[in-house]
């Protein structure tokens, strides 16, 4: 026998990726999208100061980045009212989730998440041999109490919760999460994904002692800060937990230009406020377009809106396909009943004009092809 000998775990995994990128879809359809409204990127882009910092750092790109990431950690520590020792920098939340699962989950260990929640987390758990236990959403919210009850039932090492939620845009109050932590089973860690926290109403972020080792909070520069392609995320937890990541993280995995850009972006609060304003306006425009087409929208604490297509997942998939055929990149939840919705990211006015033009035709085509 020649060739690689894959471990049984890897050989048994399906050949899949959590998401099919828009570029892949563009190549398949032989045309570029007219409006890119599916990946929850910030079409409003990063701070001009971040762009300048990246450009200034380009001449130094021959050097590896400082593996301690001390400058950015110091700035984040000041923002989060903690010590730099409570901060871990990583390759976006996706990369940090991979490190977290590797750190805590051995083959056969139980992990709890919501059925239909962010699939990249599941991808990492499967890749390290963890056993996923899923519970349904409660309405269009992740069931916080149900997640903790299931964790106690299966002796889970890790619970995943996104607050605000992706793909529905719903959210729990910070006070609810604080109260739920008091019922967390011993030896279980809450992975609290706060990728969209900047867009959320005041009071959504819980007040958690940074030295609380029951929680690993995960944040990113990919959303409100407009730097998805830079792959910069950070985690906040107790100093011993953060030190433990040094055993398994890629110490030289960060791009020094991206780190410089993130530091500049963090300091430009005026641009962040402008992005939040533009996002709120775009959410309102998406709601207006949906309502004009007889659809409803869910309240959102994120930079996207879940649009209820009013029927089942087959119909919503047909609407999504119709939009993609007409050059509008959108996505949708994977699991019923949330899959009655399509998910539309906040866009520039010209993006939303394309949506307004194409949505009626996509709906009409879906009604013709999917029986009531």
pLDDT tens readout for residues 248-299: 999 999 999 999 999 999 999 999 999 999 999 999 999 999 999 999 999 9
- Write down the pLDDT at residue 14: 87
- Can you tell me the mean pLDDT for 64-91? 97
* Residue 85 exposed, middle or buried by CB count within 10 Å (0-12, 13-18, 19+): middle
- Write down the pLDDT at residue 1: 59
Whole-number mean pLDDT of the chain? 97
- Whether 315 and 370 have beta carbons less than 8 Å apart is answered as yes
pTM: 0.96
Is the pLDDT assigned to residue 372 strictly greater than 70? no
Count CB neighbours of 55 within 10 A. Answer: 12
- Whether 213 and 237 have beta carbons less than 8 Å apart is answered as yes
CA 209 to chain CA mean position, Å: 23
Which of residues 2 and 333 earns the better pLDDT score?
333
- Write down the pLDDT at residue 371: 79
Whole-angstrom distance, CA of residue 28 vs CA of residue 34 = 15
Whole-angstrom distance, CA of residue 27 vs CA of residue 331 = 17
Is the pLDDT assigned to residue 41 strictly greater than 70? yes
- Write down the pLDDT at residue 42: 97
Give the architecture (CATH level 2) of 8-45+270-369: Alpha-Beta Complex (3.90)
Chain region(s) in the chain for CATH 3.40.640.10? 48-268
Whole-angstrom distance, CA of residue 95 vs CA of residue 114 = 20
Lowest mean pLDDT, pick from 17-21, 135-139, 157-161, 197-201 = 17-21
Whole-angstrom distance, CA of residue 91 vs CA of residue 363 = 38
- Can you tell me the mean pLDDT for 145-156? 98
- Can you tell me the mean pLDDT for 309-317? 97
Is the pLDDT assigned to residue 17 strictly greater than 80? no
Is the pLDDT assigned to residue 87 strictly greater than 80? yes
Q: What residues pair up with 344 in beta bridges, in sequence order?
A: 305
Cα distances (Å, whole numbers) of residue 305 to 7, 125, 231, 320: 41, 28, 23, 14
- Can you tell me the mean pLDDT for 153-174? 98
Chain region(s) in the chain for CATH 3.90.1150.10? 8-45+270-369
Give the architecture (CATH level 2) of 48-268: 3-Layer(aba) Sandwich (3.40)
- Can you tell me the mean pLDDT for 69-77? 98
């Amino acid at each position: 026998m020649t060739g690689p000998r894959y471990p049984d775990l890897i050989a048994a995994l399906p050949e899949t990726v959590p998401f099919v990128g828009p570029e892949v879809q563009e190549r398949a359809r032989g045309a570029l999208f007219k409006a890119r409204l599916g990946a929850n990127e910030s079409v409003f882009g990063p701070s001009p100061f971040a762009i300048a910092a990246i450009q200034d750092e380009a001449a130094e790109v021959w050097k590896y980045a400082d593996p301690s990431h001390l400058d950015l950690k110091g700035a984040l520590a000041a923002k989060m009212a903690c010590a730099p020792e409570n901060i871990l920098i990583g390759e976006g939340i996706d990369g940090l989730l991979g490190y977290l699962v590797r750190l805590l989950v051995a083959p056969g260990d139980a992990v709890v998440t919501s059925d239909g929640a962010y699939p990249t987390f599941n991808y990492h758990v499967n890749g390290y041999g963890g056993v996923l236990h899923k519970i349904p959403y409660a309405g269009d919210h992740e069931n916080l109490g149900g997640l903790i009850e299931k964790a106690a039932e299966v002796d889970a090492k890790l619970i995943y919760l996104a607050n605000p939620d992706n793909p529905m845009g719903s959210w729990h109050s910070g006070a609810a999460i604080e109260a739920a932590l008091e019922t967390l089973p011993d030896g279980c860690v809450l992975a609290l994904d706060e990728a969209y926290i900047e867009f959320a109403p005041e009071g959504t972020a819980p007040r958690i002692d940074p030295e609380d080792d029951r929680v690993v909070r995960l944040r990113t520069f990919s959303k409100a800060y407009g730097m998805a392609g830079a792959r910069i995320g950070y985690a906040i937890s107790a100093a011993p937990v953060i030190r433990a990541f040094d055993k398994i993280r890629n110490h030289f995995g960060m791009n020094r230009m991206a780190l410089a850009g993130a530091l500049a972006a963090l300091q430009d609060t005026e641009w962040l406020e402008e992005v939040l304003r533009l996002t709120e306006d775009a959410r309102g425009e998406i709601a207006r377009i949906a309502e004009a087409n007889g659809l409803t929208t869910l309240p959102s604490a994120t930079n996207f809106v879940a649009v209820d297509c009013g029927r089942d997942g087959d119909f919503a998939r047909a609407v999504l396909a119709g939009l993609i055929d007409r050059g509008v990149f959108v996505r949708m939840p994977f699991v019923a009943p949330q899959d009655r919705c399509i998910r539309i990211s906040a866009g520039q006015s010209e993006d939303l004009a394309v949506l307004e033009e194409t949505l009626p035709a996509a709906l009409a085509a879906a009604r013709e092809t999917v029986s009531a």
